[in-house]
Structure 1
């Protein structure tokens, strides 16, 4: 992806779809005396029933979509994650798994196949995903690559009714949660509002602002629901972000909001609602604090590179190379993308929160940076 101001114009059908959502947002603005918090705009743009980016059936992930995630880059990523899950399931004497937002289903398929090889398959593999289009893709992926394991997979509309023993997984889930946008004025937060400006939308003006950023107001409640869902085991979250001191560093004075449209990255979240992804980097200190406040234990924190190295990346790479020596170059490229600081290795972090599970996690044996939080 590249950061750019030059974006391809969406086709007429897509623009018509966006206009439907824009009309709904305008109605919300009118009802709310002329403006709505940015958090509400982001929620509608991403999740408004039938029209939001994540729920309206648009192609999002992969070459034909807007962005590519780590499981799409290489099965090695999911296999490393499966190694960590296998340790938890083995220590518990079996259990279940819940994946939050399973994307194209590639990670679920690759993890289940690796867990089968390790003799640590979960009794149930639940997927909580609100996108009908992605659910269909997930079924197709699993049917094509792991049909014999499909019977273990069940799709949910809400969190499981009963707490689970096992592992909760979320890859690039937190960054898609709506955030509150604020500007500091004389040391006080001023919550930014979205208003109608001409045919589009704009942010209400703030005089004297010195710094703009975001925070996730839903995080404490979301973490409490995760803690209630986990009876015993570990939750593992992978995303891009920073520790709090770096998140709100003066050099990052324009915040972290970015948008993805057809593999181009830009910084206008108010453009074409419903057609583009809107994300904010994750404040991992806030994640850790919300988890502890919800009754979970902070069980590990590391860069993606360190977590993958601890979880057997080198061994998995060598095994894949031995199985198909002709794949040496693409495999090496995949490892570089997942691990190099200039790629995903340092920008992405892995955080683990546990409940009633005390063994040290293998994914953090080489480098555990909990002290940085």
Structure 2
């Protein structure tokens, strides 16, 4: 094993409360135990899984406040959190899928605060659709928040612990793939594929580090080395990711989605852009109190850890699972195709300050959703499904499947 890098505190990190420091110590101790049981080297995807999903300790399972645009409580803001505009526009694609699949069932993965479900159910009701809404949420804290938020709707909503055996309808996964644990790899001087993992710092060294860990490398296992070799040429000093768990999740969808389509919204690239020579440090990012940085070894259990999505890999996995790839485009083009302009065409006649302030917020949200400098270009929409008979509204214009 060779040490790759040591942890470093990101610039601008806000101070931690005593409660957060105690939680961080507990998470670090648990991770050190996992490293020891793994023989001294914990592959990065396993590290990421524990940091995000360890029961009562992980970022998504330990009860931290994660969403929101107001400092200091939130860590990041998703499209549904900006305003109801995202869900209102999305509803047109959802209603088409429901009609084509002859179903009113919706399954949302990772529903966050419940903002998307709330606005989507409300909008579908205005279209005369009473959906049967299911949510699969791994975070007990977020599940409780969703239940509180959605209770006033008096809608048919259920929370699932696992994927259904058979499903017909519309699947929604907004910023889900990026949070699935990814493997890190780099190349040795001879072009050998090296797996990146986490090792424990010795007691003397650890006292000078912000976290008692190092990133380290070892020869990659055969299956990982073969997949990396299939996707890019060896490049010296090149570090990147491959998300085998997300690919497996996409393939598995083919075992239970019997009719309908899935709408997958996330930030990422097709493979030729994902593994561009200039993207030589990969796409891994961490978020804490709206501070974005690339230090995954610090703040374990307190910060989100994500990687961008290789949409070529996701499309290939869907095909391997027996699904059809129905469309792929940017978020901006998808929302324009679904009629976002219709929700912005008529400013309110009411000139009271409260109404005008709300309209200004709506227009600001639309700019963030559509602008190339914000979410419009970086975020993509991949649509996959089975037994759909009509072209999907969201990719009638600007379909980029030929770039995958």
TM over 0.5: yes
Q: Answer yes or no: is 1:135 the counterpart of 2:143.
A: yes
**1:357 deviation in Å?**
1.0
Q: Answer yes or no: is 1:52 the counterpart of 2:55.
A: no
Aligned counterpart, 2:362: 331
Instruction: Report the Cα distance in structure 1 between the residues aligned to 2:306 and 2:290, rounded to whole angstroms.
Output: 14
**3-state SS of 1:250 partner:** coil
**1:322 deviation in Å?**
6.0
Contact 2:104 2:129 in 1 (8 A): no
**3-state SS of 1:218 partner:** helix
Aligned counterpart, 1:231: 258
Q: Answer yes or no: is 1:157 the counterpart of 2:165.
A: no
Aligned counterpart, 2:319: 292
**1:159 deviation in Å?**
1.0
**3-state SS of 1:89 partner:** helix
Aligned counterpart, 1:188: 192
Instruction: Report the Cα distance in structure 2 between the residues aligned to 1:219 and 1:119, rounded to whole angstroms.
Output: 35
Q: Answer yes or no: is 1:61 the counterpart of 2:67.
A: yes
Aligned length: 365
**3-state SS of 1:318 partner:** coil
Q: Which has the larger radius of gyration?
A: 2
**3-state SS of 1:366 partner:** coil
TM-score w.r.t. the length of structure 1 is 0.94
**1:188 deviation in Å?**
3.0
**1:164 deviation in Å?**
1.1
For 1:117, which of 102, 121, 126 is the aligned residue? 126
Unaligned runs of 5+ in 1: none
TM-score w.r.t. the length of structure 2 is 0.87
Q: Answer yes or no: is 1:176 the counterpart of 2:179.
A: yes
**1:319 deviation in Å?**
5.4
**1:22 deviation in Å?**
1.1
Instruction: Report the Cα distance in structure 1 between the residues aligned to 2:142 and 2:349, rounded to whole angstroms.
Output: 33
RMSD, matched Cα: 1.9
Q: Answer yes or no: is 1:23 the counterpart of 2:32.
A: no
Q: Answer yes or no: is 1:89 the counterpart of 2:98.
A: yes
**3-state SS of 1:224 partner:** helix
**1:28 deviation in Å?**
1.2
Instruction: Report the Cα distance in structure 2 between the residues aligned to 1:94 and 1:220, rounded to whole angstroms.
Output: 27
Unaligned runs of 5+ in 2: 1-9, 220-234
Instruction: Report the Cα distance in structure 2 between the residues aligned to 1:56 and 1:326, rounded to whole angstroms.
Output: 36
Aligned counterpart, 1:213: 240
Instruction: Report the Cα distance in structure 1 between the residues aligned to 2:261 and 2:191, rounded to whole angstroms.
Output: 38
209 and 28 in structure 1: CA distance in 2 versus 1, 3 angstrom threshold: farther
**3-state SS of 1:204 partner:** strand
Aligned counterpart, 1:5: 11
